[in-house]
Structure 1
């Protein structure tokens, strides 16, 4: 069973000397002089032996991810480290086995795609550990002096070695990050300096790599020029990276992860459709179709999550005297069953060959983009036209929906307008680096429309679910009074929202002209 530990740590270089004797020359300053530290306890010396795994072209290293099998010390086993923020990583642990555990391999799959994981570096460390304690004897931080020998495995540079000494300062669980600043200040005064490498693996790869080898780079570069192609590709790379980065978060069931991954999927698909003058549709359309499939698979889980939160909130707003029958219990059973089903569907999609083929296709498309002639033109002339075209579609759908009387046909029309609003907003967001504040203002206005339409659609879905739950309660011999009450409240909220829609749309279109975005 995987265990997760959040690490907050900083590294310091003990000496510019890369020889093994650097450890003997390292002298930690008196850390009892750091504010809050009452004593320093010697925890002894441990010998650690770790083998790091990656693809042959170092795809995990390119994204600052490490996967290792380590023996020695108190936490021997498999460790996967995922970056959370500067100085902070989640370490996910599994017990020792010969091969990488499937659960950890799955968390790397969006980066590795179909490439196998192989040993790339062996690190042997002699770790001298000290604990910084407060006046109550509680742990504030762990300081370790590590003497490291790294050996490159596999090809190229197999057998190349390097040596160094470094100091790690790891904050205790629930500790104040400001304490690391105080310790760091003391270490710097003693002549130590922050490490230039993010991890031991990063330093080992750098010091043992041939001069021509660099890890594959997944991070997007800013646009190199003002062409439409540069800006569209930068946006696409940003969304691709977001999709890839949220994959392990979805697998770990972290809050909001499904939503963020789904948004990245939709933004990619929307950009392909909006900027078809920049990218060849014969290449992007098949990829867009697969993105639509992925968004649909993720949508089941996300829609369940949103609906579940909405219905629980609605019940919480009902006075206890009006909660008749086992309302909370029935909703709980519905929630658990729906969540289990939707999550299983999401994980099945992420574990499928179809998903891996989609990631591979996206990577290949971005590596060799199918640019059309408009891609070489100035962004300020190409991007506004594409955004305005999407806006025109939104305007037509809104005007058509608002002309209908309330009912199912209008609900469907408003839902269609919502999709157009989302696409228009995404188009404006993609253009913001090139067009600046006008695109930002335009996106904000369209987002207001999208939000209003989204609230209406959520109410439509909630009412249908409440109708079903009420019918189930009645069939079970329970009173359906509360379900009917909730349905009525949703209906009233939808009516109020619809009455405000014309004004929301009017505000969004006020001052609308081609001068808003140029082009």
Structure 2
């Protein structure tokens, strides 16, 4: 994780004394480096439009390929690869931005030559708390012809990058630089500064920002002029953004990333169903099967991941052979997921989700005031869940009825979550109640799935000791599933339902 701030400086700027900043005990002697970086992007600068930079840099202490992705106001997550060949983007890094490039080739778009002077700041215990880099930059836009001698742009900038230092240090360093004549840079990257107006936010990103701004303004003024369409599209935009944000993290297998990406996909799908009166079905209906497909791709990984972690916790860290088999299945599912996330089908779905946000297919109900329309739509989802719950007692197959109730609880929860910015506490309580029902049914379902897996593993047991352990775990899971099932009526009795 890279946390830094950039400042513009004139040619005659003098770097101020850096001692005495919070947490700084000493400043090392300046070190000079010559850096050469080639930046790669699509022809229409899709990565730069999302604040992402991909470069191959020679010189300095960290030569190689660097992929930087936004992670908060001053943060970027950086991933690296060895230098390799000059024009061949490492496959691993290319895959991590595939959700943005969507099949478009990555090519050189700019070069930067930097004369860098670095001052390292240390704490009393010798820890590196921050680096201050004074950069003289020469940049060239080579999009038209990478081989041509493109005109150069030159500027000077100061970077303050935290090591083990605190936000207080970052703030104090910035104050000292500004006092010496530097100004906070408007661009968070050198590439952004060089290409400037050529980098345009995607239409979907502009639409997301506009929807959110309208909704926030409507809520802040207290009069509630926000339309139902604004509320629905702001929520959908946030979920599409989450899919994009967790895509590279899921590919890397980061903790909880697949789960959170899958939840965002489910929220989109659920919203398209729960808010049918707001959105025209001729546009949203075709998205259903594609969202279901993506959720299933992610679900295969997530289900195996949950089982493995569940059993590991039960076993206290022991890893018998049957659990290693499960881990191998999980790794294979990850490989299948990564292959699916490179398919044209996935990129086509992302294109349609972008179009959904940029050109929303709003129906007649979308123009009605959100404060008047949302209560009825949330209540409708709740009533659907209530009918599903009531059917458990009379259904021929109670397992199916419980599964349908769990799905209805998720939809009621997400429908209420969407309404929270507009309806406040009342919607938050509905979402909380629906979540409780979902979690109780989820606990039961997790136990059932675990029992099925343990039963299959027992049929392949290598010896009696392994079979005995699997039997013990089966009994444990059955007990927990039955406890969750018994707790369902109690949890239902504690819910109040919508009261708008």
The answer to whether the superposition gives a TM-score over 0.5 is yes
Establish whether residue 80 from structure 1 lines up as the match of residue 67 from structure 2. yes
Secondary structure (helix, strand or coil) at the match of 2:241 reads: helix
Q: Which residue of 1 aligns with 2:286?
A: 286
Q: Which residue of 2 aligns with 1:215?
A: 201
Q: Which residue of 2 aligns with 1:443?
A: 431
Q: Which residue of 2 aligns with 1:464?
A: 452
Of 443, 446, 455, which aligns to 2:443? 455
Deviations 1:292-346 (CA, angstroms, capped at 9, x unpaired):
00000100111111111112222339xxxxxxxxx74134313322211221121
Shift of 1:217: 5.2
Deviations 1:58-102 (CA, angstroms, capped at 9, x unpaired):
322222111112223232222110122232222212223223222
Secondary structure (helix, strand or coil) at the match of 2:68 reads: strand
Shift of 1:36: 4.3
Of 380, 404, 415, which aligns to 1:416? 404
Aligned ranges for residues 320-335 of structure 1 at < 5 Å?
328-335=319-326
Establish whether residue 369 from structure 1 lines up as the match of residue 343 from structure 2. no
Q: Which residue of 2 aligns with 1:264?
A: 264
Change (3 A) 1:73 1:315: closer
TM-score, normalised by the number of residues in structure 2:
0.89
- Distance in 2 separating the partners of 1:435 and 1:69: 49
Secondary structure (helix, strand or coil) at the match of 2:188 reads: coil
May I ask how many residue pairs the two structures share in their alignment?
481
- Please identify, of 341-350 and 175-184, the stretch whose mean Cα deviation from structure 2 is larger: 175-184
Aligned ranges for residues 236-255 of structure 1 at < 5 Å?
236-255=236-255
Are the equivalent residues in 1 in contact too, given 2:308–2:327 (CA < 8 A)? Answer: no
Deviations 1:364-396 (CA, angstroms, capped at 9, x unpaired):
232222222222222233333332222222111
- Distance in 2 separating the partners of 1:435 and 1:223: 17
Structure 2 residue ranges without an equivalent (≥5): 215-224
Q: Which residue of 1 aligns with 2:384?
A: 393
- Distance in 1 separating the partners of 2:454 and 2:247: 32
Q: Which residue of 1 aligns with 2:116?
A: 127
Establish whether residue 148 from structure 1 lines up as the match of residue 132 from structure 2. no
Secondary structure (helix, strand or coil) at the match of 2:62 reads: coil
Change (3 A) 1:160 1:35: same
Of 9, 12, 37, which aligns to 2:4? 9
Are the equivalent residues in 2 in contact too, given 1:66–1:82 (CA < 8 A)? Answer: yes
Of 113, 120, 144, which aligns to 2:102? 113
- Distance in 1 separating the partners of 2:255 and 2:466: 35
Q: Which residue of 1 aligns with 2:190?
A: 200
Of 38, 49, 57, which aligns to 1:51? 38
Change (3 A) 1:439 1:135: closer
Secondary structure (helix, strand or coil) at the match of 1:491 reads: helix
Q: Which residue of 1 aligns with 2:421?
A: 433
Q: Which residue of 1 aligns with 2:333?
A: 342
Secondary structure (helix, strand or coil) at the match of 2:111 reads: strand
Of 118, 122, 139, which aligns to 2:128? 139
Q: CA RMSD in A?
A: 2.5
Shift of 1:453: 0.8
Aligned ranges for residues 19-30 of structure 1 at < 5 Å?
22=11, 25-30=12-17
Secondary structure (helix, strand or coil) at the match of 1:33 reads: coil
Change (3 A) 1:217 1:161: farther
Shift of 1:494: 1.9
Are the equivalent residues in 2 in contact too, given 1:62–1:217 (CA < 8 A)? Answer: no
Are the equivalent residues in 2 in contact too, given 1:223–1:230 (CA < 8 A)? Answer: no
- Please identify, of 461-470 and 26-35, the stretch whose mean Cα deviation from structure 2 is larger: 26-35
Establish whether residue 355 from structure 1 lines up as the match of residue 346 from structure 2. yes
- Please identify, of 30-39 and 278-287, the stretch whose mean Cα deviation from structure 2 is larger: 30-39
Shift of 1:438: 1.6
